[in-house]
Structures are given as C-alpha cells and as structure tokens.
Structure 1
C-alpha cells in the first residue's frame, strides 16, 4: 500500500513539436521540445492568496515529481483584480496554467479569445483526468463545445449530490464560546431571540471573568459585502437559505425571498443584529475594521459568537484552550436547519485549464493530472483539520492494520502550533509550504480507493478518537446527545438541509443589468449597515422603508427578475443532477 517517498522524478515525454489544437482559431503557437530540464510555469490563479514562487514542502514535491517551479500570478494579492486579468488577456497570455471562476470568466470567452487550450492531445497517460469525463463534458456543454477537454472543474466528487460535501463541521452555523455558555448553565436556545438573550448573558459572564469591557458577543466586518451585507446574510444560512444575487433561495427549492422583502428572512437577521447593538453586544469598531483585525480579536478571546466554524474555531480552539475546556462549538439552536453544499459529481464553478501559450503543454497536463491523483489530492490540500491529509511519510502514514493515521508531526501542524519541515521534505515552516494554488481538485471527504478512508484526516477514526476527546469536546458531547462532531449532531437531529451539488454557472449580466446592480448593491449594503446601528426600532424601520423606496426608483425589479430566474434555474440544475446520478448509479 505504501506509495513511497515523493522523490522519484518521473520520466518526461519529449513532445515532437505537437501543434496546438483548436484554441478559438486564433493561436498558432507550437510546443517547445521538452528535454526534462527544470522549468518555471506561470500560473494565473483567481483563488490564490499568495503571489510569487511556490515555496516549501509543496515546492519540493513538485520539483521532485516534475522538475517544475510555480510562479503564482494572483489578482487577489496584486490589488489589480479584473485589471490584471484584462491586461494579461489583452496580451494574449494569461499563463501556462489558468485557474478561474467560471461565474466570473466565461469558459466560452476564454476559448474564443485563444487564452486556454484543448488538453486532448496530451491526455494519453492522464488516467485521473479521464475519470472525470462527465465533469469536463459539463464544461463543454456550458461553453458550447462539442468536443475537447478545455478545463477540469474543482471539487469533483464520487459521492451522491445529496450527500453533504463538508466534513465534521458544516460551512455555516451558530458557533459560541461554549465555556461561557456552560458557565451560565446551558440555557435553552429555541430560536434567534433566545440566542440573543444567551449571548447577552455570556457577554456579562465573560466581562466579569476577565475584568475586560472589550469583550463583545458579536464583531462584524465589511470586507466581503457584495449584493447584501455579508454578515447579515450568514444567519439566513442557519435556516437553509443561500444567496443568488439579491435572492435568498432555500436549499431544497421550497422558498425564494428577495432581500427587500418586508418581514423576510434578511430583514429578520438585520433586526437580530440591531437588537444586539441596542443591547450593547456589538463591537463598536465593526463598521470600520477589516477581517484581519476582527480575526485577531477572536484569537484574543474577545468575541463570543462566530458565523462559521472556520472562523472562531480556527482562531481560538488551540490544543491548550480545548484541553482547558475553552473554545467555540456549535450552539444547540433548536429551530435551525443549516444550509449545506452537496457533493458535486460534475465539480463546481472553479476550473483549472491549460494556457494556450504554454510552451511545455505535456508537462503542464501531467502536473494537472497528478493534482487529481490520490497522491496529488493529499499533497495539494491545506493545513487545517478539515483539509486533505498532506504528504505521506511526513504528515500521515499507514499503520500496521493498513489504516491511515497522522504522524506526530501531522498532529502538530494540523491541530497544534505548526512546525518546521525536515530538510528532506523541503524545510521551512509547514504553513508557508502549503500549496498556494488554493484549489480543491477532489473533495477531501471523498474516499481514497487505495486506503478505503477519506482524504480528510479529520474523518479518520483515529483522529476523531484523539482530537475530539478534549475537555471541551467531551462537555459539548454530553450536552448534545452524545454526538462526537457537529455534523453527526446535525444529521442525527434533522438540522441540516443539503443543496444538491450541481455545477450551475450563473449567466453573465448584460451591461444594463450590471450597471443597475452596481447602484442597487450600494443602496442595500449601506442601508443594511445603517439599520444594524439604528438607535431605536422606529429608526430601524424607517431606514428599511427608505431602502425599499430607493430600490424601486433604481430599477430593482429588473435585476430581481434576473436573480429569481437564476435561482430557479439553479434549483432545476440541482434536481437534474440528482436524477442523473440516480440513473447512473
């Protein structure tokens, strides 16, 4: 079963000047002769949070495997955003490898502009890419291509689309500082009104314990606002909704609401935050701070509620804190039915493609193919507990019974304070060496056919036994019906609603709708923040009434019609993928 240490350089195919096939008819470049020498590949990556040369242990893995270096070109880091994309597109060369969001950059447009190439001539030995032919066919259908492999979606899965794609924790959920919840006696939380009362008691307790007036139940930020106030949207997910433009759509297609609806779910969440503000539970720096500033407050223990497990738990649930019984855990909100993203047999909207101007296309495709192999899935995963396990021999290994287990170093970097990588694996800080691609090829909750266990180490029995048995976990479990993990609790109590995993691509707005949307976004977001910080109920209602009047005058109904159709089309795609999966399996 042992795959062996990642040090054997694969033999490279010396291409005989393969002509580039079908790139919108605009590219006549040919491949360079590949003698296997070290090359640097430019990777245009919409998802990367790091720009420059890949460092550390992942760099060592791909150097040993393919004799390549990666130069990450990241719009998120450069600050150029769409400008960087436009500049490189105008030059006719995005990069040797291109990672993009199909909701933002149409695959059809990339093909037509001659920016990505058909991988077909380079797929003879690409056994892993070939496994996902239905996913690549799905891209072709959207792009209007009858043949070819123009890209491979990320987050592909062999699981049913009705199965949650998440691991032990959902993407969304009401997470609270469980230690303070315990101190106030584990009061019942029937609904969001009860949650507000509980948070008020917790804040009083935390301030009494710490002697600090800087502890707040809630801390907010504006960085991710788009069609609506992002923080206000999050509690709607606790009740099965997610956004599509200005529409909040139920995971099962049973309900659609627009953000301006009087008394609707979005207004209810704004009211929740406003009532919290009027009670003094909201960090007064919320409207001016960044995500990073807010995150630091979680690390310091000065915030008591988290919209997501990957915020509060990542920031505060250290090994030491959990051993002391302190940390964020899922609250027992009785009426919640949390939105969950279903597994995606055809992948999501994030895509990896071959750049049309790449000189060494075969080696690029070999690398992409490897990313979809079990070895590549493990290695290109991240550091956190809910990601794939890392490098065999370094962070995990097979025990005598053939079961995957984390090494001591694996526990240290995934659940502890990090660590320094041994020189033979590239050296340096482990976190610094995580793949900068920030691209999930195959869901970490999928099963590795070679081990019979998930790629996500947090789902391994050995890890659950060792990591979910601290003082914090045990106390939470005792009060949550004996559940070991949040997902176990949610599934056992019918408190999760899975949106089937369809690779729906939202059509691009036409110029008129795009212009209107820009004005409407500003109106909705500004009014939302003003409403949250209203000093009275009457002021709160006046602000929202004014927002509705302003939206009507700005052509809101035209944009809402587009978003409602997209939401309904997305639901149709979800139902279709369930039907297709059932017929094929």
Structure 2
C-alpha cells in the first residue's frame, strides 16, 4: 500500500477483528436504475433514518485503505444511523493479512461488498466492471446535487473502465492547481522527531540522511524511557503495508523527492528513476541505514511481529522517538498536555532533504475510489450516502474538524473550534455528550480513511480550508511550550512555511495518472519477485553483521533476476515515465503558471 497524502484520522484507531454480518441481497445485476431500490426516495428528500429509510440495513464496506475491520462505532456511526438508518461493516484487507488475497477471494465469490473503496488503476476498475461486481451509478446519481459538482473528475476516472457508465468516483478531487501542496501544514512525509528529546540532545545538525543515526542515538540517550517506563527506540517498524517493497524502508526515500511506481522509485521532478534492487539505489541505502540503526540498538526488536495498532500504542506511550509521517507521531503523542510540557513530534531539518509532496489533483485520485456493489440491497440509499460524503457537511465530518456545533462553530464570520473541539482535536481525545452517542471522540471517528477532496480545498460554507489546522483561529493557539520552542529554533510558524522558505519541498503535480492493466504473466512475475524483495529486506535490516547484509542483498538480486524481475521493471519504468508526462501535461493547463496567465 502507498501511504497516501491524505491519510485521515481513521489511522489513529485500533484495528479490530469483528465478525462480519453480510447484508447483501438483490438481483446481482451490474446496472441498477434509480427507482429499483425498495424503500428509497428522491435525493432531495430530507427525512431522517426513521422516516426516509424505513428498513435498517448493515452495509458491507470493502475498503482497501481502512486500517480497522468491523462495525463502525461511536459518533460517526450515530450520524450514519440517524441520516441513513444503516450501519457500516468494514472489511479491511490491511487488517486481514494485507495484499490482494481478500480482494481475489471476494471477487471470485461474486460479491466484493455493498460499498467498495479501492483503486481504479492497474486495470482494477476494468476488471471489476467485466466481472459484474459494480453497479452503474449513472441513474442512481442523476438527482444527487453534490456529486454533480465533480462530473469532470468522475468522467476522467471512468475512462479506465471497460464499459460506458459511472462505475467509480475518485477521491481527493481538488479545485486547487496541480502544483499546490495538498497536505496542509505538514507534508505526508518528513523527519519528525520527539522534539523534547532532540532539544535535550542539543538540536544536533543533520547534513544528510546518514546523520540520522547519530541524532537517533543522542535522542535515545536523552530520553531512555517511555512515559510508562519502557525502553525507547528511535525506530519501530511494521509489516502491514508491505507490497512491492518493504513499505517502512520506502518512507525515508520520500525525504529526497522519491515515490514508488511498482519496482521503481521515481523523483517528483522526473530527474531520476531507480530500480529498488540496485546496490546503489536509495531504497538499499535506507535498508543499510536501518541495519546500522539496529546494530546500535535503535530499532525496536518487536518490529518484525507487530502490527500498526501495536505500533500506534507505542507512539502514544512515547516509546518511539522518530516518525516518518506527521499523522502517526503527532496524532498519537502531541496532546495539549504533552505540548504544554514541551513534548511532542515536530519536523527536524536535514540540510540536503527535498521532501516529496503530493500536488492537488483537479481530476481526482483514481488510486482510491468509491463504488456501489452490484448486489447491494439498497443502491439508491448508498448513492445518497456517497453524495453526502461529498457534501460540505460530509467532508467536515469525515476529514475536517467534525460535526458543526459540536467541534466547531462560526465566530466573527470565520470557523473556530469549540471548547469540546479543542479537547477532541488538539487535546488528544474527549468524551462525547449523550446526544452524540457518548463514548470517546477518537473511538468514533470515521474508519473509512477516504478523503473525498483535499484538506486544502475551501469549504464553500465557511470560506476556509477543510483542514482545521490551517484556520487562523487554530494557528493563533499554537503557543504551547512545544510550538514556541520549535518556532524559535526554526525561525518560522509552520512546517510547510519552513520547507518552502528553504526550498526543501518537491511537489509532484497531481495528474491523476493511473497505471494501466498488466498482463497476467507480468502480474505473476511481480507477485513472485515482491515476496522475495520484502522478505529479504526485513532480513537485511536484522542481519547479524555487514557480511550477512551484503550476502542477503546479493541473494535477493540474483533470485529476483531469475524470477523475471527485469520484465516487470521495464513495465514499471514505462509507467513511471508516462506518469511524469502526465504531470507535465496537467501543469500546462492546471498548474500555477498556467492559471496565472
């Protein structure tokens, strides 16, 4: 799995295995008319779950990006129940072993899910349409007012299908230019460290990635114990998201402008394309970095056996001192209490870094789309739900500040967090009032992990970004001991401002490029090769000495070459260069320079 730009609050919650309750029914036709769903009414109706939708249903949601499996609970579940008289049962490949196994199994059974959140690229949309797994939403969506605002992006994505129709709606649709950083105040990737440990170590300078080792060691020495008294580690890893390569080893490559395309690491500006198994690739440089870190006692020895949920709990306890993503370390540990004490994760600069940033995607991101399953019991109700997800209210509830009136309100014509919102969003958690179902705020956030638009897009009702972190009212509250010390040391107010000021950001224009379907032979070769690459990557990090590290690298290279790696690499290299062409094309029509003409 690619760790995408828009990873939402769902990532904060525990992955739980809960028994599935199937609620699929219907004829199994891949095309459903707007009036065929029993109990449905026109999209313009404003009834609640008790009046508009008479029958309560459970909706099976196949969700490739979710990191939680089971019934959605808490305040978001209550909103879904009140509005649509339904509950969401999330089926998550990330939790159920990763990879495509669950997708293949459910596809073979002819019922992927009632709602389907997965990629349209690599021929997947075409495959699902041909297999009759999806409903054609053309008639279902004809009266939906919010979806109609995104018709151009939807049309573009559905060109990837093998048949005319509306089969999928892309995520991350944006009204911003393609070279506008999409993430908000913090890029998706970066060297985020426990700033209090970094400060105790004397704010050591880092000229290159190799200097992380010295800094990590100094930080571990400065803060040897977690909040609960456990041994701290600079680095803690997990396997959940491994795919073409070891995902955790790919992340530091993003500090230098690289992102993945199969077995290729491609720079955002098109200046370099690397095969990951090459001895001098930046991927292998990261493996060597982690190997050395392990030799120094800086890598969590439980890394090979833990999952994301376990890892997240360690961040909450302050047991891990480095985070490759802001939404992991900061979200888990930067509570108001910790920040007031000067503790928390903040970006520490590496002099030669040029961090990869995902540009906004005017045509939407086809690598994560939402569709309706062909066997869904009430497809019109699901179309209504999807339309709501793309409404300002739905966007705020799933990827913004949360429900208006609970977490935020309008003050002097601008949005501001309520006292509850400050506790929930800035303080780490809060207990909800009974009117919202009670329970923990964090336990109730949407587990869909699906961003319909980008956080930097403007809510037409507030005239401010959907990302509350960029609101003037929130920025004015960044006065904790942690904030002020970081700002004084870095000479700027926000991470994104620092990176722009020092030319340390490399934005990949959001082209919406989707890699085409590959032949079954290439797919088979890829699966064989990536299993070797992932397994040997882990072994290399935990090798007993440098001789074993080098031996494992050589064995990996020899083995995958024998399995047909070069054939797959040729495909990925072409896709990477085609993606760059698409980026250059979108810049001509939707880049900042083009829009200013």
TM-score of the alignment, normalized to the shorter chain, above 0.5? yes
1:376 equivalent in alignment to 2:402: no
Q: 1:458-473 to 2 correspondence within 5 Å?
A: 458-466=469-477, 468-473=478-483
Q: TM-score by structure 2 length?
A: 0.85
Distance (Å, rounded) in 1 between the aligned partners of 2:96 and 2:548: 41
Q: 1:73-112 to 2 correspondence within 5 Å?
A: 73-77=91-95, 82=100, 84-86=102-104, 88-90=106-108, 92-103=110-121, 106-112=124-130
Q: Counterpart in 1 of 2:404?
A: 392
Encode CA deviations 1:484-541: one digit per residue, 9 max, x unaligned: 2211211121111111112222233322222222232232223323332334444433
Mapped contact 2:361–2:512 kept (Cα < 8 A): yes
Aligned-pair CA distance for 1:418: 1.8
Q: Counterpart in 1 of 2:516?
A: 507
Distance (Å, rounded) in 2 between the aligned partners of 1:80 and 1:305: 24
Mapped contact 2:389–2:395 kept (Cα < 8 A): yes
Mapped contact 2:32–2:136 kept (Cα < 8 A): no
1:496 equivalent in alignment to 2:513: no
Cα 1:271/1:41, change in 2 over 3 Å: same
Q: 1:122-521 to 2 correspondence within 5 Å?
A: 122-146=140-164, 148-207=165-224, 214-348=231-365, 349-381=367-399, 388-399=400-411, 401-466=412-477, 468-481=478-491, 483-521=492-530
Give the unaligned 5+ runs of structure 2: 1-25, 42-51
Give the unaligned 5+ runs of structure 1: 1-19, 382-387
Cα 1:256/1:327, change in 2 over 3 Å: same
Aligned-pair CA distance for 1:51: 4.4
Q: Counterpart in 2 of 1:5?
A: none
Distance (Å, rounded) in 2 between the aligned partners of 1:76 and 1:540: 29
Cα 1:447/1:476, change in 2 over 3 Å: same
Encode CA deviations 1:456-490: one digit per residue, 9 max, x unaligned: 11110111111x22111111111112x22211211
Encode CA deviations 1:122-174: one digit per residue, 9 max, x unaligned: 3343221111111111122111445x322211111111111111021111111
Q: If you compute each CA radius of gyration, which structure gives the higher value, 1 or 2?
A: 1
Aligned-pair CA distance for 1:314: 2.3
Distance (Å, rounded) in 2 between the aligned partners of 1:359 and 1:259: 45
Distance (Å, rounded) in 1 between the aligned partners of 2:550 and 2:109: 51
For residue 507 of structure 2, give the secondary structure of its aligned residue in structure 1: strand
**Aligned counterpart in structure 1 of residue 61 of structure 2, from 44, 47, 59:** 44
Q: Counterpart in 2 of 1:574?
A: 583
For residue 528 of structure 1, give the secondary structure of its aligned residue in structure 2: helix
Distance (Å, rounded) in 1 between the aligned partners of 2:102 and 2:504: 43
Deviates more, 1:133-142 or 1:529-538: 529-538
**Aligned counterpart in structure 2 of residue 552 of structure 1, from 540, 552, 561:** 561
Distance (Å, rounded) in 2 between the aligned partners of 1:210 and 1:425: 32
Aligned-pair CA distance for 1:321: 1.6
Distance (Å, rounded) in 2 between the aligned partners of 1:470 and 1:315: 17
Q: TM-score by structure 1 length?
A: 0.87
Mapped contact 1:178–1:326 kept (Cα < 8 A): yes
Aligned-pair CA distance for 1:52: 4.6
Cα 1:29/1:558, change in 2 over 3 Å: farther
Root-mean-square deviation (CA), in Å?
Answer: 3.0
Q: Counterpart in 1 of 2:22?
A: none
For residue 193 of structure 2, give the secondary structure of its aligned residue in structure 1: strand
1:62 equivalent in alignment to 2:65: no
Distance (Å, rounded) in 2 between the aligned partners of 1:409 and 1:584: 40
For residue 346 of structure 2, give the secondary structure of its aligned residue in structure 1: strand
Mapped contact 1:136–1:150 kept (Cα < 8 A): no
Encode CA deviations 1:63-94: one digit per residue, 9 max, x unaligned: 44344444444444556975654555455444
For residue 127 of structure 1, give the secondary structure of its aligned residue in structure 2: coil
For residue 153 of structure 1, give the secondary structure of its aligned residue in structure 2: strand
Mapped contact 2:99–2:243 kept (Cα < 8 A): no
